[in-house]
Amino acid sequence: MQKILITFLLLMSTLLSADELYNAYQKEFTFLKAQKSELQKRAAKEKAFQTKELAKAKAKVQRLQNRLVELSQTNQNIQKQIEKSGVMLDDKKSNKEISASVLIQAASLLGDYKIHVDDSKNADIIAVMQQAFEDASQLYKKLSSRQVVDGKFYLIDGTTAEGKIVKIGNIAAYGISKNVAGTLAPAGNGEYKIWNKDTTADAQAMLAGKKTKELKIFIYENLDKDVEYTKEKTLQDTLDGGGTIGYIILALGALGLLLILLRVILLTLAGSNVKKITDIVIKKVESGKANEALDAVKGFKGATARVIKATLRNIDRDRDHIEDIVTENILNESSNIDRFGNFVLVLAAVAPLLGLLGTVTGMIATFDIITTHGTGDPKLLSGGISEALVTTMLGLIVAIPLLLLGNLLSGWAQSIKDSMEQSALHIVNLFEINKA
């Protein structure tokens, strides 16, 4: 019974403890639920605040990015302006240097005409250049106009003449004195000399200010250097330019022409009376008087006459023997007909080779002069170059006609030999026909 009571008491106490525990749990749950609700509210509030702050931050970042783009563009524009300013500064420096150089050149050029140009460093470049252009313009007008001044000039014989000098700008002049008038040329050291061409009418017209259809004028660059008189080149000057080889070529050419003349005479004699002799013999043979044909042509001379006479003397022999006699006589006459022919052709071949030899020797002489004196004076080189060109020209002048005439005469000689053979064989054929 006591155990039951104790058990009951323990059970009751346990139940009482469970109720207290439950109540405590309910209180704690209610408190935690309230805390959860509070925390959710605070979280929602904090989330809204963070969202608002994040939007503000994004907007600020966007504004900063836009500002950065603006600043970058501004920086690029500033860099371009700096580069442009640098180029303009370089141009100004370059223009200043160019202007200074122009002033120095203007001072040098205009100084020759007693026009002062201030080219010092402290000078106002723009003002000085304006003044220089004005002075140059006035000088240009003066130099490009016709001026008549008193002066003196040298004559061809070296004497001095005084009179009027008509200046055509700064490039030409005419001199008129009591006895002489004509174009003036530089004599050196700023002086004039009369030119060795007759231009009296032009000088008088320029002095009177008259216009002419044609104007003979000598244009010069300056009066500092003496200009040599022009000399018309003659045939003798050209031949002298060829030197010794040139005269050798001419001698060969003269010899070739002489041989051609002799050859023409020989061929004329050899081919003379061919048709006449042939006609006489043919008439005799056709009429049966072949024995009288030889007497009929005894008075004729020349290669053709000799061949036909030899043919008539042996006309009674057999055909082969007669043909051999005709051929033999033609060969005998060929030496006389072909005389000088090959030699003329040899001269025609040698002449251009001599011209080439003269070209080589002339160039050697030119290079020797260049080695000794340099190339400063072209006149020193003219002798060798003249020899080189003139000998070639003479060689071709001699070779071309000799070659042409030589071949023509060779053809003429061959035609004479052919006509002799044809005439002789024709006579033999007629004799055999009449004999049969």
d(C-alpha 341, C-alpha 334), whole Å:
11
Q: Could you tell me if residue 77 is inside a domain?
A: no
Q: Can you give 105-119 as a three-state secondary structure string?
A: HHHHHHHCCCCCCCC
pLDDT tens figures, 310-325: 777 777 777 777 777 7
Instruction: Indicate whether 155 and 252 sit together in one domain.
Output: no
Instruction: Indicate whether 419 and 270 sit together in one domain.
Output: yes
Instruction: Indicate whether 252 and 219 sit together in one domain.
Output: no
Instruction: Indicate whether 197 and 326 sit together in one domain.
Output: no
- Which residue did the predictor score with more confidence, 31 or 346? 346
Q: Could you tell me if residue 183 is inside a domain?
A: yes
What Cα–Cα distance (Å) separates residue 209 from each residue in 61, 89, 121, 206, 287? Answer: 91, 54, 47, 5, 95
What is the average pLDDT across 157-178?
81
- Those residues with Cβ within 8 angstroms of residue 278's Cβ, 6 or more apart along the chain or in another chain: 308, 423, 426, 427
Cα angle for residues 104, 110, 116 (degrees, 5° grid): 80
Give the residue numbers spanning the domain of 311: 243-435
Instruction: Indicate whether 264 and 203 sit together in one domain.
Output: no
pLDDT > 90 fraction of the chain, expressed in percent and rounded? 3
Instruction: Indicate whether 188 and 279 sit together in one domain.
Output: no
Instruction: Indicate whether 200 and 295 sit together in one domain.
Output: no
pLDDT tens figures, 7-18: 766 666 665 566
Instruction: Indicate whether 220 and 250 sit together in one domain.
Output: no
Q: Could you tell me if residue 323 is inside a domain?
A: yes
Instruction: Indicate whether 180 and 227 sit together in one domain.
Output: yes
Band of residue 255 on the pLDDT scale cut at 50, 70, 90: very high
Instruction: Indicate whether 296 and 340 sit together in one domain.
Output: yes
Q: What is the pLDDT of residue 188?
A: 80
Q: How many domains does the chain have?
A: 2
Question: Does 377 score more than 60 pLDDT?
Answer: no
Q: Could you tell me if residue 262 is inside a domain?
A: yes
Instruction: Indicate whether 170 and 269 sit together in one domain.
Output: no
Domain boundary pick from 204, 231, 258: 231
Q: Could you tell me if residue 253 is inside a domain?
A: yes
Q: Could you tell me if residue 107 is inside a domain?
A: no
What is the average pLDDT across 365-375?
69
Instruction: Indicate whether 160 and 192 sit together in one domain.
Output: yes
Domain boundary pick from 231, 255, 282: 231
Q: pTM of this prediction?
A: 0.49
Q: Could you tell me if residue 352 is inside a domain?
A: yes
Domain boundary pick from 201, 231, 261: 231
- Say if strands 160-168 and 191-194 run parallel, antiparallel, or are unpaired: unpaired
State the average pLDDT for the chain: 77
Q: Could you tell me if residue 416 is inside a domain?
A: yes
**Helical spans, DSSP H, in 179-234:** 200-208
